[in-house]
Amino acid sequence: MPKFNPKEPIASLLRPDSLDCFFGQEKIIGKKSWLREVIKKDRVPSLVFWGPPGSGKTTLAYIISKETKAEFKNLSATDSGIKDLREIVKQAEISQRLGGKTVLFIDEIHRWNKAQQDALLPYVEKGLLILIGATTENPSFSINSSLLSRLKVIVLESLDEASLIKIIERGVRELNLKIKKDLIKFIVSLSGGDARRSLNILELIYLSDREISVELIKELANKPQLNYDKNGEEHYNIISALHKSIRGSDTQASLYWLVRMIESGEDPLYIARRLIRFASEDIGLINNSALMIANSAYEACAKIGLPECNLALAQCVLYLAKSRKSVAVYQAYQATLDEIKISGSLPVPLHLRNAPTELMKSIGYAKNYKYTPVENDSNQEYLPKGLKSKEFKKIKNLKIDL
């Protein structure tokens, strides 16, 4: 096997420089796609690529610069700022006077603060720069609205198996490796739809002198790559999927989303808190044991942590999924909240107020109050007078019997 000692990662060295060599993302870069058309017409506007790691954001930006014969400038938002932008602007102005174009690619653009993002506005508006931002976070929340309104959002997805196989096979040919098809598929299974990760695994295989096998690939890959960000959208997507799967009483899906969160490094106490909420919101009085079990799961997580508490969470999730469901408590709370928003701060009826002083007694506090354990009076009023909402009265019809 020839020794190959690159100065940069193989994933970078093997990056394609034309649309014909780009694999995957057929929806956005296929032969009849909008993006391919504007590239061919050399009318590419400023863009933002939103997608998971290794989905081709950087590669597509690079290809666009090549296909449109534009100068490619690359910044990472993690270690750059307005000073770097100004330097690129100076070069872009010179290039424009000579009839050239400049593509500015900013990786992790969501990491730039508001002032830094706003600094891009005049250059995007004038067309001095074709800005292509890349982000793994929802642009609606991570990019300033003023800048976002001037960008076309392109959504990329994790690469499918067929595309990743083509990418790995290309790398195998370039590195003169001999890897069986079943092992290539195994690499794909560990890549989590991430082309960069699959090529990184391939590079580690190349640098190893051992026989290529499942055991070697497992050792080099450590564990499957799971796309997850504890402060990003995928965090909320998966907890939503977990909640809805439990609500739908699908035990397999519930356990799947739970394990995804745990293995991605989610805080077990966060999961446990959400399960406590679920126990009251979606089960409530129809099974009071659900809240006790969810609370016990939280205590287990607090006492022993991961990985020991993973089964306590699994036990709780499966119990909640299999339990009967009722949203009566949730509906009652919401109806009461709606009434309070309408009625405001109505005064507490005098007969319900405490009367610790003679003055308070003299003005009617606690007068005619019936102590129901002794004086059974079903006609005693407990709500304030003047409730405005008729909808509030529907709470009486909710099935919240114990």
Q: What is the pLDDT of residues 269-280, one digit of tens each?
A: 999 999 999 999
Q: Is residue 365 part of a domain?
A: yes
- Judged by average pLDDT, the poorest of 152-156, 210-214, 234-238, 385-389 is 385-389
Q: Is residue 242 part of a domain?
A: yes
- Residue where one domain finishes, among candidates 155, 184, 209: 155
Q: Does residue 207 belong to any structural domain of this protein?
A: no
pLDDT at 278: 97
Residue 372: its pLDDT value, please?
84
pLDDT at site 2: 42
pLDDT at 39: 94
Residue 4 has pLDDT above 60, yes or no: no
Q: Over the stretch 328-346, which tens digit does the pLDDT of each residue have? A: 899 888 888 888 888 888 8
Q: How far apart are CA 147 and CA 73, in angstroms?
A: 19
What mean pLDDT do residues 214-222 have? 85
Query: Is residue 45 very low, low, confident or very high in pLDDT (cuts 50, 70, 90)?
Result: very high
pLDDT at 397: 61
Q: How far is 363 from 358, CA to CA, in rounded Å?
A: 9
In this structure, are 36 and 101 located in the same domain? yes
Contacts for 261 with CB less than 8 Å, ≥ 6 apart: 228, 238, 239, 242, 271
Q: Which amino acid is at 98?
A: L
Domains contained in the chain, number = 3
Can you tell me the mean pLDDT for 234-250? 93
Domain boundaries, position 273: 233-322
Q: What's the average model confidence in pLDDT over 379-400?
A: 69
Residue 40 has pLDDT above 60, yes or no: yes
> What is the pTM assigned to this prediction?
0.67
Domain co-membership, 368 together with 284: no
DSSP 21: G
Write down the pLDDT at residue 17.
Answer: 85
Query: Is 123's pLDDT higher than 90?
Result: yes
Q: What is the pLDDT of residue 308?
A: 92
Same domain as 131, residue 67: yes
Does residue 372 lie within any of the structural domains? Answer: yes
At residue 1 the predicted structure's pLDDT band, cuts being 50, 70 and 90, is: very low
Clarify whether residues 238 and 350 are in a common domain. Answer: no
- CATH number of the CATH domain containing 35: 3.40.50.300
* Nearest-angstrom CA–CA distance, 280 and 294: 10
Does any domain span residue 172? no
β-strand 102-107 against 152-155: which pairing, if any? unpaired
CA dist list (Å): 91 to 73, 88, 248:
10, 5, 57
User: Is 218 inside any structural domain?
Assistant: no
pLDDT of residue 395: 65
Statement to judge: residues 98 and 136 lie in one domain: yes
In percent, how much of the chain has pLDDT > 70? 92
Judge whether residue 72 has pLDDT over 60: yes
**Shared domain check, 298 and 379:** no
Task: Say yes or no: 39 and 140 in one domain.
Answer: yes
- Whether 341 is in a domain gets the answer yes
Residue-wise pLDDT for 5-30, tens only, equals 556 778 788 888 899 889 999 999 99
Nearest CA among 315, 302, 329 for reference residue 402: 329
Phi, then psi, of 113 in degrees rounded to 5: -80, 180
pLDDT bracket for residue 314 (50, 70, 90): very high
Residue 43 and residue 117 in one domain:
yes
How would DSSP label each residue in 183-201? HHHHHHHTTTT-HHHHHHH
Q: Are 277 and 382 members of one domain? A: no
Structural domain ending residue among the three candidates 140, 155, 170:
155
Q: What is the mean pLDDT of the chain?
A: 88
| DSSP-assigned states of every residue in 270-318 | HHHHHHHHHIIIIIGGG-THHHHHHHHHHHHHHHH-TTTTHHHHHHHHH
Q: Are residues 30 and 150 in the same domain?
A: yes
Output the pLDDT for position 272: 96
Tell whether 267 and 355 lie within a shared domain. no
Residue 344: the pLDDT is 85
pLDDT exceeds 60 at position 401: no
Is 168 inside any structural domain?
no
- Do 256 and 351 lie in a common domain? no
Q: Which of 155, 181, 199 represents a domain boundary (last residue)?
A: 155
Domain CATH number, residue 280:
1.20.272.10
Over range 126-147, report the average pLDDT. 91
